Structure 1
Amino acid sequence: MATDPVSPGAEAALESIRDGIAKGRFPAHVFNDRQIFDIERQRVFSKAWCFLAHESEIPDRGDYVTRYIADNNLIVARAESGDIHASLNMCRHRGNMMCKSEMGNASHFRCSYHGWVYKNSGELVGVPYMKEGYEGRIDKRDWGLVKVRTQTYAGLVFGTIDPDAPPLEEYLGDFRFYLDLYLKQGSSGSEVHGPPDHWVTDTDWKIAAENFAGDGYHTPVAHQFGFNLGYFASSGSTHSQGWAASIPGKGHGIGLGHTPGFPPFAGFPEELADEMRRSLSPEQVEVFSQTRTAVGTVFPNLSFLMQPFSIVPGEAGVRFVTMRLYHPIGPGRTEMYSWCLVPKDASEQYKREAYRAYTLAFAQAGTFEQDDLENWARVTRSAGSTMARDIEFPYVMGMDSVRDPDFPGPGHVVTPYVNDSNFRNLWSRWSDYMTGQV
């Protein structure tokens, strides 16, 4: 891996940030700071497990997509064997980009510069003028595409470029209990419905990651019309109820909104709700059956949202799930990916309805997405100002909260849902990576 030169002054500043998080304080400038961005690339994204793709995006042999870890463009492909491989999208001869399309199907990749050919699993198999030009001086086995370590959970493909990173199962830890709400809606799991929405925004990735780690505080303000017009299955007075659940030492967190009297698994077709009761554990059924809204983040930059949405205001809503990736491309600038996840075994009618609800609410041009993006961009712009260097934000909500002893799920679980405990956990883990503790 590349060297990591960070000045003593920067190291001291990062330690100061770490100390402040424990007191419920976090500096504004980190949400739009060139030095912070550079350190994040080296210490966070080069060491963490980062989401690459959902297996259903590459269902057939030869299917591939291109994604990123930090500034490394990767090919994520299903090889002819059926296995999934990730490789750096760079020819080993002179460094040309191999795949110029973001998705496609190919058994082999041929460099457009000098013609080196690789299998979609990364092995070098063809070198023009091999005999005449190289005279046996290279062994093709030594010059395959640079491999990236991958592991999967319930259809999610993660990659890491740190050879010493712990197994993905250990990295996710007990948060898998909550991920199952999005990924195991039935015995066959979930799949993406259509290609991802994909755009660039003047937003720092951390603002979006925090928001989706369980920020129910903004909803009655930023999305107030959703309550007034009947799009949401809750009200401003009940929206704060529920639980904030985080996994200490991991950075992952989820907000579970609960509305008293809300029917179990409301928004799912009854046959799908029955399937979930069979496929999930009794503890998961107890939690998820009474969950209205579930909004969570897998550290560092993968988020999910599930909620019922009433396409016709006032009528019963349909559940949709959005999965979102925030790829940082500069200080205060993010490449956004957004997918719609649907239960694989659900009816086509339900999948269409869920996709329509997702599109109207939280796709690229979704009504509530625009609310968030406008606020996030303004926060990012403010965070980059000169005076913001000396400003801190308060993260003191729920500082004295104790774990709900009756909650059957794992982690540090507190009430109400509107709480800063998930965010303190998120930034504590971020600071672990930034200060070289991981």
Structure 2
Amino acid sequence: MTAERFIIDDREKNLFRVNREAFTSEDVLQRERREIFGKTWLYVGHESEIPGKNDFQTRDVGGRPVIFNRDRHGDVRVLLNTCLHRGSSVCRHSSGNAKIFTCFYHGWAYRNSGELVNVPGNEDYKSEPAAVYKGLQSPPQVDSYRGLYFVNFDPDAPDLLTFLGEARYFIDLAADQSPEGVAILEGTHKYSLKANWKLLVENSIDGYHAKSVHHTYFEMMMELGATPPMLGQDTVNGVAPAGMGTEFPNGHATLMYPANGLPLATDSVKQTLAGLRSQAEQAFGENYANAMFGLARNSVFFPSLILIDLSFGLTLRTFYPVSASETLVTGWQIIPKGVDEEFVKYRIDNALTFWGPAGLATPDDVEALEQAQKGFGARGEVGWSDVSKGMGKPVPAANDELQMRSWWREWNRRITGEQLPTEGTSFVPFDKQGVDA
């Protein structure tokens, strides 16, 4: 496919297409591993997941096993989870508390700050191992924003704040929802799908599919007398025309739409949310609080960090390719600190019944994406996917596809070196004093 283009971006015809080889080629996947997952900022975890000294979480990040931990001094670290001796994992648990990580294979031991401290049979080495092998390695760059920790395996990549740019505003809108901050709830959703990882990127910021794919959920909510999210008056396929899509540099993008209440929430839950909104108004101004609690948001931070911020739940999701046709997904729920148990239970219930692997939304999405991957078997005859909806509009709606095109242009730049211009849309955020920034 080297002689062909991956992207058709025709501004005269308002036509945007993606070559389906991008979803099926193992050669493309290898380039992605090198040029994207090896050179961009990747999410590792939130500081609330390791609250105490010696706490740790193990993760796979961009194909690398890592330990996300606080060392014995309380400093946050990210260590590559591979023994310097013969490569085995030095930590085989998903989470816990440990001062020392010991390789199960031959017993080499490391402090949780990385230093090699014990080698069984050390006297048999003519060179002292602790002098030759300084300790567990860390990615060249580790940084955080609002409690979210990221790594970059490219020492020459721009810093995290530069990479996030203006899109970090949508992280702020999540992080500012309580005066005490936010935390990741204990528990993780892990599941896989037999589809290319980029299909899940598209799906996560796609307002066009909501009513058709998730009709069972919408019907159930309406039968129970609740207003489903994204379904109010004057909607088009489940998304209000008042919503909009946005594009940012570096492939980040967001779709926004009016938040239509709290399905099946008790009065207590509604009062808690109203209290959080009132506190935000006092701290940051009415406009910023309206953006925080009056707009629902699906954001992607390139390449595969998704933040879905709805009134009934706040989901953080990341995913990486296993192969060109399989993806491993990990998801967490974020909760404002200081809320009561009933509010937490409400959010957990929604996390399970809507976003969970056996919920009302995720299986629908998985089926849609796996059907798309299956359809790519006919790519020799039908070789291109269309991502043109809303192209040429002055203000693309939330159920248009600007946000996907923004992401694809960055993907294309990193894979081919071709720099395609943005569509020139602008987003003016509200600052934290309630004044248009």
By the TM > 0.5 criterion, same fold? yes
Paired with 2:403 and 2:375, the residues of 1 have a C-alpha distance of 24
1:218 aligns with 2:209: yes
Counterpart of 1:325 in structure 2 is 318
Percent identity between the two aligned chains: 26
Which residue of 151, 156, 159 corresponds with 2:148? 156
Shift of 1:240: 3.1
CA contact (8 A) 1:244 1:422 kept: no
Paired with 2:119 and 2:277, the residues of 1 have a C-alpha distance of 55
Paired with 2:6 and 2:189, the residues of 1 have a C-alpha distance of 34
Shift of 1:151: 0.9
CA contact (8 A) 1:27 1:389 kept: no
Shift of 1:174: 0.5
Shift of 1:93: 1.0
Moved over 6 A (4+): 259-262
SS of equivalent residue, structure 1 residue 25: strand
SS of equivalent residue, structure 2 residue 364: helix
SS of equivalent residue, structure 1 residue 35: helix
Residues 1:281 and 1:135: Cα distance change in structure 2 (over 3 Å): farther
User: Please, what TM-score do these two structures have when normalized by structure 2?
Assistant: 0.85
SS of equivalent residue, structure 1 residue 250: helix
Residues 1:139 and 1:105: Cα distance change in structure 2 (over 3 Å): closer
Give the AA of the match of 2:49. E
Residues 1:287 and 1:388: Cα distance change in structure 2 (over 3 Å): farther
Which residue of 393, 399, 411 corresponds with 1:418? 399
Residues 1:51 and 1:388: Cα distance change in structure 2 (over 3 Å): farther
Deviations 1:165-187 (A, max 9, x none): 11111111111111222222112
Give the AA of the match of 1:295. N
Which residue of 73, 87, 101 corresponds with 1:109? 101
Which residue of 379, 383, 391 corresponds with 2:372? 379
Paired with 2:271 and 2:21, the residues of 1 have a C-alpha distance of 40
Give the AA of the match of 2:80. L
Counterpart of 2:408 in structure 1 is 427
Shift of 1:247: 3.8
Paired with 2:29 and 2:121, the residues of 1 have a C-alpha distance of 43
Which residue of 19, 43, 55 corresponds with 2:35? 43
CA contact (8 A) 2:257 2:398 kept: yes
Paired with 1:193 and 1:289, the residues of 2 have a C-alpha distance of 20
SS of equivalent residue, structure 1 residue 294: strand
Shift of 1:195: 1.5
Residues 1:266 and 1:240: Cα distance change in structure 2 (over 3 Å): farther
CA contact (8 A) 2:18 2:387 kept: yes
Paired with 1:427 and 1:298, the residues of 2 have a C-alpha distance of 12
Counterpart of 1:304 in structure 2 is 307
Shift of 1:287: 2.6
SS of equivalent residue, structure 1 residue 169: helix
Paired with 1:401 and 1:286, the residues of 2 have a C-alpha distance of 26
CA contact (8 A) 1:192 1:340 kept: yes
Counterpart of 1:207 in structure 2 is 199
1:66 aligns with 2:58: yes
Deviations 1:22-57 (A, max 9, x none): 641112232232121111111110011011111111
Counterpart of 2:134 in structure 1 is 143
Residues 1:279 and 1:51: Cα distance change in structure 2 (over 3 Å): farther
Counterpart of 1:269 in structure 2 is 273
Give the AA of the match of 1:420. E
Counterpart of 2:357 in structure 1 is 364
Equivalent residue runs for 1:242-281 within 5 Å = 242-258=242-258, 269-280=273-284
Counterpart of 2:422 in structure 1 is none
Paired with 1:417 and 1:379, the residues of 2 have a C-alpha distance of 22
Unaligned runs of 5+ in 2: 263-268, 420-437
Give the AA of the match of 2:307. F
Paired with 1:220 and 1:270, the residues of 2 have a C-alpha distance of 28
Paired with 1:205 and 1:306, the residues of 2 have a C-alpha distance of 21
| Structure with more relative contact order (C-alpha pairs < 8 Å, separation 6 or more) | 1
Deviations 1:257-298 (A, max 9, x none): 126999xx978622111122244466533433431x211111
Shift of 1:79: 1.0
Residues 1:127 and 1:290: Cα distance change in structure 2 (over 3 Å): same
CA contact (8 A) 1:92 1:143 kept: no
SS of equivalent residue, structure 1 residue 374: helix
Counterpart of 1:405 in structure 2 is none
CA contact (8 A) 1:186 1:279 kept: no
Counterpart of 1:134 in structure 2 is 125
SS of equivalent residue, structure 1 residue 337: strand
Counterpart of 2:425 in structure 1 is none
1:334 aligns with 2:337: no
SS of equivalent residue, structure 2 residue 150: strand
Counterpart of 2:428 in structure 1 is none
Counterpart of 1:313 in structure 2 is none
Moved more, 91-100 or 246-255: 246-255
Which residue of 339, 344, 349 corresponds with 2:337? 344
CA contact (8 A) 1:210 1:297 kept: no
SS of equivalent residue, structure 2 residue 187: coil
Residues 1:108 and 1:335: Cα distance change in structure 2 (over 3 Å): same
User: Please, what TM-score do these two structures have when normalized by structure 1?
Assistant: 0.84
Give the AA of the match of 2:308. L
Residues 1:224 and 1:393: Cα distance change in structure 2 (over 3 Å): same
CA contact (8 A) 2:247 2:253 kept: yes
CA contact (8 A) 1:110 1:117 kept: yes
SS of equivalent residue, structure 2 residue 331: strand
Paired with 1:127 and 1:260, the residues of 2 have a C-alpha distance of 60
Counterpart of 1:17 in structure 2 is 6
Give the AA of the match of 1:323. L
